[in-house]
Chain A
């Protein structure tokens, strides 16, 4: 394993070539491209939600009992829920919050996890490593969902606290991943050379070792977006996420579930929406895995 990510720090031409090769590998399986397209569509829809949805005001406090509980129709593609809100609009807005949650969670949990992993791996054999990895083990002793639930339960239920709770239970996975990679990368020749020539530790960690971890890291990040959204949906299903009237996919599924099977549309459509977005992230993540896989003869 050489320092093949020198290309990242090299000129733009090399980067362009690397990018087109990456695309070729990504698109070899058309499903990956499908996933990417779906993701782009969802992101676009979520971003432009107020402008493209038929009833943007339904995303807030709105009630109209005359139109409550209507099955899917031309006016309401996904029907209406029990207080008369258009399910389709709320699903699109729900995507907004889901994607936001995913991004915030990863933004909060990845940097500390990665940095701790780098440090622990680099200073392997010292007390620094032991302390960091033991702390990581403690956080990993329970399933992430349980920890997130426990933490979220003890705070006031709202979207931000949900994100905080998930982040707290998520960072150790990154630390473990980067720790493992740093351990093996540390032994490579190019790191030894740099140490001898007196490069500073932050430089070695951030500009030499980290870029080599980029492959699995990016793949994991993409797949994790799916998981984060799943956890967010789970938390709101239990009532610990964004509170009504904010549209949250998990909450919608929970509310609608109470009235199965009569008003199935208020549950099934948000549920399917969750599945679609997670599937899309999984497909893209798989594609990224193909991109970064070692070349086979």
Chain B
């Protein structure tokens, strides 16, 4: 097992290295002068030239990459041309908001999605199953930003049931920042009213993000459950007299969720990218909004850093998912010789 992890980590490093090279390449190859773009049209020629030398823009590609790589290994991701602050600082400010939202969305999609998928598969062709299949079909086909807009429109503006945009209502102060996670920080500061509001505000965006996953993963769980139900070993367990509750919750459940877990890794990547849009719609001060702004203003350092962070996160999550599968499904472990 240890060998397997080591191998995967090595693979991930290689891939991330290649990714950084790729994105760096694209960023530098693109026409336009980043130094000029950063300083604006009113800057003098000398100022632009100075910035260019500072940014190593006059040197060949690989030298530039080399400087950048050294800096990154020291934790310096460069300065954001847009915010004029170190990119690392920007990331630390905006990342927790997005992570919090994504974790909440994942929680919702896991609980709701898996339960619905399991019930659907077990009570195949019942009214519940039919309903779920319709929902999941539409859920997969609707872009999350459309869902976000619809939810915002219906529940917030039309029915006034849910709060509007932003993480907290206007005028409510944030608790002292420890982790950046409003949920944790407010609990630590003892401000339960903030906790409540933070949760309420997270509800709509999290649901917008979660629906696509409920649809997709729930479906897979459903068909996987149906598959397993037909298997001979379930029959054999029944015949051997295994108690029905144990049969369902132990012997039926585990083989059924394996295909879903496999998909979750890939789905996480999509969750991340969908967060971009949902954050825009809900004016969430998160990482994705920062990334989009960076991209729109051609903030090169920020763009490269953003892509790298996303790549690392995705690689980590994939590794986690792979390990979970290896734990759940011994056939994988055995085949991989771990």
Interface residues of A (CB under 8 A from B): 134-135, 137-139, 141-147, 149-155, 226, 230, 233-234, 237-240, 253, 257, 260-261, 264, 267-268, 271, 274-275, 278-279, 282
Contacts and interface: CB of A to CB of B under 8 A. Distances in A.
Contacts of A142: 19, 269, 307, 310-311, 314
A275 to B, nearest CB: 5
A152 B296 CA distance: 9
Contacts, number: 123
What bracket does the count of chain B residues touching chain A fall in? Answer: 35 or more
Interface of B: 11, 14-16, 18-19, 22-23, 26-27, 30, 137-138, 140-143, 145-146, 149-150, 152-153, 157-158, 269-270, 272-274, 276-277, 280-281, 291-292, 294-296, 298, 303, 306-307, 310-311, 314-315
Contact of B273 (A137, A143, A153, A257): A143
B141 A278 contact: yes
A234 B143 CA distance: 8
A149 B295 contact: yes
A149 B276 CA distance: 10
Contact of B143 (A257, A278, A282): A278
Given A143-B269, A271-B150, A234 B15 contact: no
16 contacts: A134-B14, A137-B18, A139-B22, A142-B310, A149-B273, A150-B303, A153-B295, A155-B30, A238-B277, A238-B296, A257-B281, A260-B149, A261-B153, A275-B138, A275-B146, A279-B138
**What are the 10 A-B residue pairs with the smallest beta carbon separation, nearest first?**
A153-B295, A145-B273, A143-B273, A138-B18, A143-B269, A261-B157, A279-B141, A154-B30, A278-B141, A141-B311
Nearest to B29: A154
Given A141-B19, A271-B150, A233 B143 contact: yes
A138 B27 CA distance: 16
Given A253-B145, A261-B157, A141 B295 contact: no
B270 A238 contact: no
Given A151-B26, A268-B153, A278-B141, A143 B314 contact: yes
Contact of A138 (B22, B141, B270): B22
B141 A275 contact: yes
Nearest to B145: A237
Given A260-B152, A282-B141, A150 B146 contact: no
B268 to A, nearest CB: 9
Contact of B146 (A134, A149, A274): A274
A138 B152 contact: no
A271 B311 contact: no
A149 to B, nearest CB: 6
A250 B272 CA distance: 20
Nearest to B146: A271
Given A146-B307, A154-B30, A275-B142, A267 B149 contact: yes
A49 to B, nearest CB: 22
A267 B148 CA distance: 12
